[in-house]
Chains A and B, each alone.
Chain A
Amino acid sequence: MASPLEQFEITPLVPINVAGADLSFTNSSLWMSIAVGCAFLLIMAGTRQHAMIPGRLQAAVEMVYEFVAGILRDAAGKDGMRFFPIVFTIFMFILMGNTLGMIPGAFTFTSHIIVTFAMAVAVWIGVTIIGFWYHGAHFLSFFVPHGAPKAMLPLLVPIEVMSYCVRPISLSVRLFCNMMAGHTMLKVFAGFIVSLGAYFVIPGIAPMAITVVLFGFEFVVAFLQAYIFTVLTCLYLNDAIHMH
């Protein structure tokens, strides 16, 4: 029987070798392209009509837009809205990636730490640069909590800096672990259906019910993790722009 971790293997579909570097088009790249294509088609098709009274698809796309715009506006205020394109891109990419991974036989590209780490580090470095760009050297006062007694600063400032540096790790590991653990659990319970159901079918019904419930739970987690990544990105942006 196959191991539940085999689903995370990356297989090159179109081997491309540029001067020794492996730049193959893999199944991960394929599903990333499908995710981007789906997001693109959805929004293009939804905004094609420009109707004042939106039809179903346009209303759905407008709801998604307003949802993400609401998150950014609540977290970062009006000044934060200039960063809406990157926030919306992150939300749609992770949402599409997570949801497309639920299709049986599909590959969840967000279940690889390198993918989520790349996104989280991009967000973290971007937010740090934005902080220094907006406030200059004064941005370093972000690590000094307001109203703290001066004697405590040698203890507090390293802790603040460390908790700031943990942000990309926690952001990436949260998404990665949710996706990997969720899909591994699904595979394990699905394997139980086969192995228990081999004895006259009836014992296979319990793991089947659990798998159905887990499947629904994974859809919720897919949406939730995209939402959490976006909310935290907006909160970190707010920290950089408004510094408290």
Chain B
Amino acid sequence: MELDAAKMIGAGLAVIALFGVGIGIGNIFATLIATVGRNPSVQQRVFPFAIIGFALVEAVGLFALLIAFLILFT
């Protein structure tokens, strides 16, 4: 198989990791909504943690993107 074709396939495979990232982000915000639904007064305290959690999970997704770029371009 040519190197370029293998690179394309590798980059495509690397993006499969986003499957877990989608589940993670959905989990965070589903829990946030349920928590605020149970106890609306706690929203101010819980929201920063939701945003921090979202950014950390998104970082993992971006690690997958980084690997895809590394495979494609080096």
Q: Write out the residue numbers on chain A whose beta carbons fall within 8 Å of the beta carbon of B55.
A: 174, 224-225, 227-228
* CB < 8 Å A-B pair total: 30
Across-interface contacts of B59 in A (CB, < 8 A) = 170, 173-174, 177-178
B63 and A173 form a contact (CB under 8 A): yes
- Count A interface residues, CB 8 Å: 11
Residues of B within 8 A of A174 (CB): 55-56, 58-59, 62
Q: Chain A binding site: helix, strand, loop or mixed by DSSP?
A: helix
Q: Does A231 contact B (CB under 8 A)?
A: yes
Name which residue of chain B comes closest to A231, CB basis: B52
B51 contacts across to A, CB distance below 8 A: 224, 227
Within 8 A of B (CB), among A195-241: 224-225, 227-228, 231
Given contacts A170-B59, A173-B59, contact A228 B66 (CB under 8 A): no
Residue-wise interface mask of B (50-68) relative to A, using a CB-CB cutoff of 8 A (1 in contact, 0 not): 0110011011001101100
Contact residues of B with A, CB < 8 Å? Answer: 51-52, 55-56, 58-59, 62-63, 65-66
Using a CB–CB cutoff of 8 Å, the interface residues on chain A facing chain B are: 170, 173-174, 177-178, 181, 224-225, 227-228, 231
